[in-house]
Structure 1
Amino acid sequence: MHQLLIERLGPIHHCEFTIRQYTFLTGYQASGKSTIAKAVYFFRTLKGDIYQLMLRRQYETLNIQQGYAQIEDTEHQTLVSEFERHVRNKFLSTFGTSYCMDRDMRLCYRYQDGVEITICLKESRDKLTPNYVWVEYSQQIRNFLIMRENDAAQPRISAELDALFNDPFETVYIPAGRSVLTILGSQFSYLYSTMDDTQKRLLDACTRDYLELVMRLRPQFSNGLEGLLAGKQVSEIEQELFLEALRLIRQVLRGRYVASDGEERIWVAKDSYVKINFASSGQQEIVWILNLLFYYLVLQKPVFFIIEEPESNLFPASQKAVIELIALVVGAGNAVLLTTHSPYVLGAINNLLYAGTVGKLANRQVSEIVSPSKWIDSSVCDARFVQNGEAKSCMDNELAQIDNALLDQISHDINLEYDRLFEVEQAVEGDASCR
């Protein structure tokens, strides 16, 4: 299992836990949930970055062999040095400048025994960069980079990287504030294409990767989500899974998403649609969460989803349906790290955890209430409440559910305030009646 350690990065003072198939983060805003999510994305995508570095070196070698470039035209570096430079640049692109970071900042990610990467800061002799990003990593990773120095990027290399990093998943990050892309629609593709590398670097790496993923996949939705199934041979079980996913998506989206004629639309009836930039704020926020979940479900490629605040601008019933869809997709062989502020989201998760527990005792009866495809096994689930620089477990081990007490405390405070106001009203009315 993967393990994450964060020391003194942003609002996080100390955080250490194991990444499970279902990992849920909750807590107040600005408490550090996004910092944790970005750290997980940063480390989990490094294996893919190594493959891309090898691919780029392969193209450079080919250009030299075919006479399109001279050896002196290409900056010759070892794969080791290229990887270390890439990790430094990616860290800064993900978390911002290191100038104002705590000198004791430390990030460590363990992929498996003997394979880990650590990021820390060291004082630099160059006064312009006092906090130099320092990369340390296991000898197994270094050996791989040295041995593959002159190898071509091939599928077997990708498989070796999966084994080395103990990670068969592609990692997909879906940030908060995603409605910006949907509001701009097709115009964003043009705006993004006109930006130079410096301007693109103003976006953090996680958001930039998400935007590029959406722009790359958008044309595949020209016939809607159903179009992804065209010509695909599926089993009866898979068909039921896809149909249930589509049902949940329609329930949340209140329409059918299609990207055609250079614009994104939500068809609300057979002959009526609304352009995505004129859709409701809830539809704009959720549409690409739904699209990506269904796309990778159909693709049947293992994905580790990192989803920030899926509940944004959604009615509680829709929040419940989104959680059921996420559970259905994750249960099909994927994984998720999810951040949320919503007690409705946590309540929906608890229902699915409870179904997973009771379903072991009464499978048929529970299946009539909640489809087994959505049950969550508590043994592969962890929930953390992020507060005061820490991420403490908020799982009730006895009940095998998320402890809602911390969020329920807010409801308690609101109700207590109401009771005090009611007492004042009663006292005033009592005084008036005595006159």
Structure 2
Amino acid sequence: MKRLIIDNFITLKHVDIEIGGFTVLIGQQASGKSIIAKLCYFFTEFATESLFDGIKNNSRKNKVDKEIISNFVSLFDKETWQDKPFKITFRYDEYHGITIEKVKVKSSIKVTLLDCTNNFFTQGKKKFIRYQNHVPSDEYTSLSKMFHNFKYDELRYFQHCDNLFHFNSYIPASRAIFSTLSENIFSLLSETGRIDKMISEFGNVYNLAKDINNKKISRKILDRIEAYLSDEQQDVLKYVDEIIYSILHGEFRSINGDEYLETKEGILSLINTSSGQQESLPLLITVRMISYFWSDFPGNYYVEEPEAHLFPEAQYNVVKVLALLRSCYEDAPNYFITTHSPYVLTAINNLLYVGKIRELDNKTSDLEKDFNPYLGIDFKHLNAYSIIDGYSKSILDEESELIDATLIDSVSSVFSDEFDKLLDILYSEDEEGNE
């Protein structure tokens, strides 16, 4: 299981979390949830890509360090961390890890490859050189194409490095922009550097997701994916599509390059849809289509505020979509969710119960009357934390195998306590003893 340890970075004092399956962070606004999610994405996407580039180009370690640091600085504004030391360690598993640290206020950032990772880098370069020497010069048109084959044919099985090879997608809270900007305008903003790096990264993934949805990619590839899926998996995906329709109140369509929601009332331009539809459409299309496209390859999806602008029932349905997609594929996608919403936690608890009952042979038939068994979440694959005052705290109740209800109930109790006080004031006797 992956693990992230943060000491003294920006607003975070000490965070130590395990990551995998379903990972949920809840906390107030500006508590540092997004920093944690971006760090996880940084290590699983940018840091590993820097390692792969270094192996491909036979680069020295210090050049790889510079690339890792450059990406780090582009994601995390220097002004927020340069005046104090910090240490961040990301463990991909028991074999691999990377540490980024600033030992003193005036010192530079240092990158350390931990355990097998350093050997993976140095020996990986040698393996690729040998690979190149044994490949006929006319077999590949480019070094990148040759390395791609080497990466998945040989490198993936070297030094226990499976967990360095994941597809990663960061789905930001500001995703509604993709429902209102045309693809051409987005491309222009990205090319000129006038759009946030994380937004730009997601835009590329979302464009692929839309192409898959609209069947604009190779029919041969789509047929191969369809053939790989069982009838049972196809049924689960149909159910996912029904839930997505209920959230969006329509179906996503692309007509002559313009994007719409096709509703029961007719065709609706995305720019005229509600804020909830604009926020949820990019999220739902991405997790549905990309996990389908990469159904035989593990993926990590970092989702900020899945509940944004949605009614509680729709929030529950978004969680259902994620749970179904995780249960559907053999290489189950991993979800890292940041949220403000107690409804999201309650939804997960409900689906934990589905997972429990699903394992009981004598209860399965009763369960299937009202619930699709694929909705179940396995407690063993759940991590949940609150982020308070810069510290992480697990909110799992190991005894009940649920997210601790205390945190969920505390939100309601604030309203309830104030409501009771107001009732006391309203119905209390006045100074003369009259009500």
Instruction: Please give the range of the TM-score, normalised by the shorter of the 2 chains.
Output: 0.7 to 0.9
Alignment of 1:327-346 (within 5 A): 327-331=323-327, 332=329, 333-346=332-345
Deviation at 1:334, TM superposition (A): 1.4
Name 1:416's counterpart in structure 2: 417
- TM (norm. structure 2) is 0.84
- SS at structure 1 position matched to 2:147: coil
Report the CA distance shift for 1:430/1:341 in structure 2 as closer, same or farther (over 3 A). Answer: same
Equivalent-residue separation in structure 2 for 1:413 and 1:272 (angstroms): 43
- SS at structure 2 position matched to 1:154: helix
Name 1:247's counterpart in structure 2: 242
2:111 matched to 1:119?
no
Name 2:148's counterpart in structure 1: 154
Name 2:10's counterpart in structure 1: 10
Q: Which amino acid aligns with 1:26?
A: I
Deviation at 1:140, TM superposition (A): 3.0
Q: Which moved more, 1:183-192 or 1:32-41?
A: 183-192
Equivalent-residue separation in structure 2 for 1:418 and 1:99 (angstroms): 40
Q: Which amino acid aligns with 1:30?
A: A
Given candidates 276, 281, 290, the residue that maps to 2:284 is 290
Query: Is the CA contact (8 Å cut-off) linking 2:205 and 2:286 kept in structure 1?
Result: no
Q: Number of matched residues?
A: 402
2:38 matched to 1:42?
no
Report the CA distance shift for 1:131/1:251 in structure 2 as closer, same or farther (over 3 A). Answer: farther
Report the CA distance shift for 1:78/1:247 in structure 2 as closer, same or farther (over 3 A). Answer: same
Alignment of 1:365-380 (within 5 A): 365-380=366-381
Report the CA distance shift for 1:431/1:174 in structure 2 as closer, same or farther (over 3 A). Answer: farther
- SS at structure 2 position matched to 1:166: helix
Equivalent-residue separation in structure 2 for 1:323 and 1:307 (angstroms): 11
2:33 matched to 1:33?
yes
Spell out, residue by residue over 1:367-400, the C-alpha distance to the aligned partner (whole angstroms, 9 max, x if none): 3232111101101111101101111000111110
Equivalent-residue separation in structure 2 for 1:350 and 1:219 (angstroms): 34
Name 1:207's counterpart in structure 2: 199
Deviation at 1:40, TM superposition (A): 0.9
2:90 matched to 1:109?
yes
Report the CA distance shift for 1:99/1:177 in structure 2 as closer, same or farther (over 3 A). Answer: closer
Q: Which amino acid aligns with 2:348?
A: I
Equivalent-residue separation in structure 2 for 1:429 and 1:359 (angstroms): 58
Q: Which moved more, 1:104-113 or 1:142-151?
A: 142-151
Deviation at 1:85, TM superposition (A): 1.2
Percent of counterpart pairs with the same letter? 25
Equivalent-residue separation in structure 2 for 1:82 and 1:289 (angstroms): 35
Query: Is the CA contact (8 Å cut-off) linking 1:79 and 1:145 kept in structure 2?
Result: no
In structure 2, runs of 5+ residues without a counterpart are 133-145
Q: Which amino acid aligns with 2:52?
A: Y
Equivalent-residue separation in structure 1 for 2:99 and 2:123 (angstroms): 22
Q: Which amino acid aligns with 2:111?
A: V
Report the CA distance shift for 1:379/1:222 in structure 2 as closer, same or farther (over 3 A). Answer: closer
Equivalent-residue separation in structure 2 for 1:168 and 1:145 (angstroms): 14
Report the CA distance shift for 1:52/1:241 in structure 2 as closer, same or farther (over 3 A). Answer: farther
Name 1:92's counterpart in structure 2: 73
Q: Which amino acid aligns with 2:210?
A: R
Name 2:304's counterpart in structure 1: 308
Deviation at 1:19, TM superposition (A): 1.2
Equivalent-residue separation in structure 2 for 1:403 and 1:295 (angstroms): 33
Q: Which amino acid aligns with 1:297?
A: S
- SS at structure 1 position matched to 2:241: helix
Equivalent-residue separation in structure 1 for 2:236 and 2:50 (angstroms): 33
Equivalent-residue separation in structure 1 for 2:79 and 2:100 (angstroms): 12
Query: Is the CA contact (8 Å cut-off) linking 1:281 and 1:313 kept in structure 2?
Result: yes
Deviation at 1:141, TM superposition (A): 2.6
Alignment of 1:34-433 (within 5 A): 34-45=34-45, 46-52=47-53, 57=57, 78-97=59-78, 100-101=81-82, 103-122=84-103, 130-138=106-114, 140-149=116-125, 150=129, 152-158=146-152, 160-161=155-156, 163-164=160-161, 166-192=163-189, 194-196=191-193, 199=194, 203=196, 205-222=197-214, 232-233=226-227, 234-269=229-264, 272-299=266-293, 300=295, 301-331=297-327, 332=329, 333-361=332-360, 362-427=363-428, 433=434
Q: Which moved more, 1:277-286 or 1:399-408?
A: 399-408
- SS at structure 1 position matched to 2:308: coil
Deviation at 1:24, TM superposition (A): 0.9
Name 2:142's counterpart in structure 1: none
Equivalent-residue separation in structure 2 for 1:53 and 1:318 (angstroms): 44
Equivalent-residue separation in structure 2 for 1:229 and 1:365 (angstroms): 36
- SS at structure 2 position matched to 1:113: coil
Deviation at 1:10, TM superposition (A): 1.8
Q: Which amino acid aligns with 1:83?
A: V
In structure 1, runs of 5+ residues without a counterpart are 58-76, 125-129
Query: Is the CA contact (8 Å cut-off) linking 1:5 and 1:107 kept in structure 2?
Result: yes
Report the CA distance shift for 1:429/1:113 in structure 2 as closer, same or farther (over 3 A). Answer: same
Equivalent-residue separation in structure 2 for 1:393 and 1:272 (angstroms): 46
Report the CA distance shift for 1:108/1:426 in structure 2 as closer, same or farther (over 3 A). Answer: same
- SS at structure 2 position matched to 1:210: helix
Q: Which moved more, 1:419-428 or 1:324-333?
A: 419-428
Query: Is the CA contact (8 Å cut-off) linking 2:172 and 2:303 kept in structure 1?
Result: yes
- TM (norm. structure 1) is 0.84
Report the CA distance shift for 1:218/1:49 in structure 2 as closer, same or farther (over 3 A). Answer: farther
